[in-house]
């Protein structure tokens, strides 16, 4: 009789714990496995364009009654077939938001870095509209004056009314 009561208690505890864990996982608005993934686009020659996850530069807890600010960035990197970094485009944006009410993009800028002199960059821009920042540009690789690769960069950052940047 004591074994069946003990078994029932252990089973009840296990079910309760798994239910609480499942609920906590379901309610967690930040899933690191999704937020930290990169988007990778492969090309025929083995090179790739990699779009990074969002990098937040500040981590202050939001005030629920006042305007908050947050700055974030995202990169588009070009790597050759051996994984060597060839060039990077970085979009950086600042946002203000009133917790649960509204958000707005207050600034947007871009930078580019080229590691291989065969590459050039053109048509770069960073714009803001509403709660979103948009970044564009084009990396071009030329050999003996002939264009052999073009990579168009087109990335964005958006902030919702809760300070979540995607």
pTM above 0.85, yes or no: no
Domain-located, residue 164:
no
| Most distant CA atoms of the chain, gap in Å | 87
**Same domain membership, residue 109 and residue 83:** yes
**Same domain membership, residue 121 and residue 95:** yes
pLDDT band at 60 (very low <50, low <70, confident <90, very high): low
**pLDDT tens for each residue of 121-149:** 999 999 999 999 999 999 999 999 999 99
**Same domain membership, residue 81 and residue 19:** no
Hey, CA dihedral for 127, 34, 160, 164, is it positive or negative?
negative
């Amino acid at each position: 009789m004591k074994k069946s009561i003990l078994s029932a208690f252990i089973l009840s505890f296990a079910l309760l714990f798994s239910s609480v864990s499942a609920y906590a996982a379901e309610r967690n608005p930040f899933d690191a496995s999704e937020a930290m993934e990169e988007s990778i686009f492969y090309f025929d020659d083995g090179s790739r364009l990699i779009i990074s996850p969002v990098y937040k530069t500040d981590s202050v807890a939001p005030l629920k009654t006042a305007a908050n600010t947050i700055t974030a960035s995202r990169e588009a990197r070009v790597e050759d077939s051996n994984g060597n970094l060839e060039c990077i485009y970085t979009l950086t944006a600042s946002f203000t938001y009133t917790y649960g009410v509204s958000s707005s993009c207050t600034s947007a800028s871009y930078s580019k870095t080229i590691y291989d002199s065969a590459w050039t960059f053109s048509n770069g821009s960073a714009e803001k509209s509403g709660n979103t920042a948009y970044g564009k540009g084009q990396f071009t690789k030329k050999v003996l004056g002939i264009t052999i690769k073009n990579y168009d960069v087109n990335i964005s950052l958006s902030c919702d009314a809760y300070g979540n940047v995607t």
